Each structure stands twice: as C-alpha cells, then as structure tokens.
Amino acid sequence: MEKTIEKAALLMEALPYIQEFRDEIVVVKFGGSAMEKPEIIEAVLRDVVLMECIGMRPVIVHGGGKAISAKLETMGLEVKRTGGMRHTCEVTIDVVDDVLHNEVNSHLLELLAKHKAKAQRVSGKDILMAEKLFVKDPETGEDVDVGFVGNVSNVDAEYIHEIIEAGVIPVIAPLAKDKKGHVYNINADIAAAKIAESIQARKLVYLSDVPGLLSDPKDESTLIHTIKVHEVEEYIADGTISGGMLPKILSAVEALKVGTKKVHMIDGRMQHSLLLEIFTDSGVGTEILAD
C-alpha cells in the first residue's frame, strides 16, 4: 500500500507541471551515446509519447553522428574533423542523408508507432535553409572549408506547426538546403535550437550522454543545476563550457533570447530523465534560464 501511495504522491507532484505545460511545444534533441542502446531509445520515446498523451506538443530533432561514422568506416572513407566538425564531401553528404533518413529516422518512427503515437518524418531539407559554415582551426585560428556543413538561416515554422496542430509528433533529421539546392549537414544541437526559436517552443531539451553541465567533466557530482545567460561567458572563459558543449550552450542562449523560456540539458541514459526533469520539483540535469 505504501508504494501505491508513493505513486499517487508522484502524480500529484507532477499535476501543476502538467497543467502549466498543456498545449505547450517542447523540442527534444536526442543524440550522442544515448542513441546507441535500444533500451535507452525505447525509454526516451515512451517518455515523449506520455508527454504527448497528457497534452504537451513534443517535437523530436535527432542526431546520428556515430551511425554516420560507422557507415563511413565500413565504406573505407576517412573521417576528418576540424573544430569538432566532420569534413563533408559530396560522397559523405550522400551517406549522411541516407543514414539520417533511412536508418535513424525510420527506426524512431517505427518505435513511436509501436507505442501507438502518430509521428511524421520531417526532412530538414524541406524546412531548413542553410548557409555554408566555415570552421575556425583551433591551432591556426584560420577559417577552414569543411565542405557541405552549414548553419541554419531560416526555418519553415508554419509547416512544423501544421504537423503539430494535426496531433502528430514531427521527427526531424538535421539536414538543410541552400538557395542552389545543395544539401548541408547541420549540427543537431544548432538545428534544434533554431527550430525551437522559430516555432516559439516553451522548452528546449538536450538529451545526451552526460548528466548536464559539470564544473569538473570527470566528476558527475559537480553538476551545475542552474545557469543564467549572463553567466555563460564566464563559464566559457574558465573552460567549464568547452568542446562539444560549446555549440550546445551557445545555441541554447540564442533560443532563450528570442522567447524560449527554458533550456534543459539532461542525461538520456538515465531512465525517465525527460519526465523527471520536466515534471518534478528537483529535476535531474542543468537548466539554462534567460536573465
């Protein structure tokens, strides 16, 4: 009986959050090592389905970097990076396109259908406009042409809203096209933030393979629970925010500046971390707030 009462108490703790976030859009970016284990993928998607069932409007933006690297390796193609960005030639962008759509996206749609959720594949090529990205070499400081890698210059927010209003979960692959029709690979963190900005999402959630922002990357007990936008520069200067965390945080800041209320960074490997962060008083990751 005590366990039953505890479950009821948890539901009551979630009630005000369920009421507050009903009909609100939440962009969930899913990537990193969190996408390697089938049981983790399944658990995250079940959380997303529950969010949709209780009235929230989830939008999924997924990565696929490790699956892409594995495919390139089987083809005997070298993976070269500058500043963390994969060099992407014409052959590579075709592989990226194939893996993101026909492997990663298709698999997520199958699992969502298994849990009786209505979901729709959305290719970033149809909704994201790209501009070519030059990456600064960390050693020389020079701008490097890394091929078909881009930033997002525009988002077709109306199309995404149409899908959401139809009661369907958009599942978005992070690719984009430029004005000439060339396809570009987009960092999924950046794509998620730009989409959150454009569709005026209430929340943006980054699910990855770390608990959140750590003051000591080697010590998970040093989790920073809350940071505000004005603190970001200080954390960059002292090295707390660096490497792959940098584009994630900077894109989050841009989303917060134009209306997203809160950005969460949580560990997708933890069972139900998505629900715990959104629907409990304590949360489990790092939240980034506007000033």
Q: Which residues are annotated as a binding site for substrate?
A: 64-65, 86, 185
Cα 284 to Cα 265: distance, rounded to the nearest angstrom: 9
Query: CB neighbours (10 Å) of residue 101?
Result: 17
Q: Which residues are annotated as a binding site?
A: 64-65, 86, 185
Beta carbons of 248 and 265 less than 8 angstroms apart:
yes
Q: Give the CA diameter of the chain.
A: 65
Instruction: Tell me phi and psi for residue 118, to 5 degrees.
Output: -85, 120
Radius of gyration of the chain measured on its C-alpha atoms = 19
Cα 81 to Cα 97: distance, rounded to the nearest angstrom: 18
Q: What does DSSP assign to residue 35?
A: G
The set of residues, in sequence order, having a beta carbon less than 8 Å from that of 2 and lying 6+ positions away, is: none
Q: Which of 261, 212, 207 is nearest to 235 (CA)?
A: 212
